[in-house]
Amino acid sequence: MTSLSEVLAQDRRLVVLRTLEEAPGYQLNEGALEHVLNYLGHQVGRDMVRADLQFLLDHDLVRKEILRPPSGELWLLKLTNAGGEVARGRPHPGVARRDPD
């Protein structure tokens, strides 16, 4: 049986992939992704967003560039081809499956 926390993590990861699929250039920074997740009711902080992004990085579903603005380190995430396939419905362990449109 899957725990509630794992179900929520899987959904957050799908939201990230679907958001990147719709973003210009298939990329957004982690702050924008955090905002989208919170807007959709996930109520997450930067640490949780980074943990989900690290999962997606480890599975080659996104790529990361580190930006260094004066305020500190900021991750810029870009969707990979494999991440786009998962966003469109291809099953992947640890990511919720997209409902049919």
Q: What is the mean pLDDT of each run of 10 residues along the chain (101 residues)?
A: 92 98 97 97 95 98 95 94 97 89 59
Helix, strand or coil, per DSSP, at residue 92: strand
Instruction: Please identify, in words, the CATH class of the domain defined by 4-87.
Output: mainly alpha
- What is the DSSP pairing of strand 74-79 with strand 62-67? antiparallel
Q: What is the pLDDT of residue 12?
A: 98
Measured between alpha carbons, how far is residue 4 from residues 9, 22, 40, 41 in Å?
Answer: 9, 27, 17, 15
Tokens of 58: 């480890």
pLDDT of residue 98: 77
Q: What is the pTM of this model?
A: 0.93
Whole-number pLDDT of residue 100? 67
pLDDT score of 16: 98
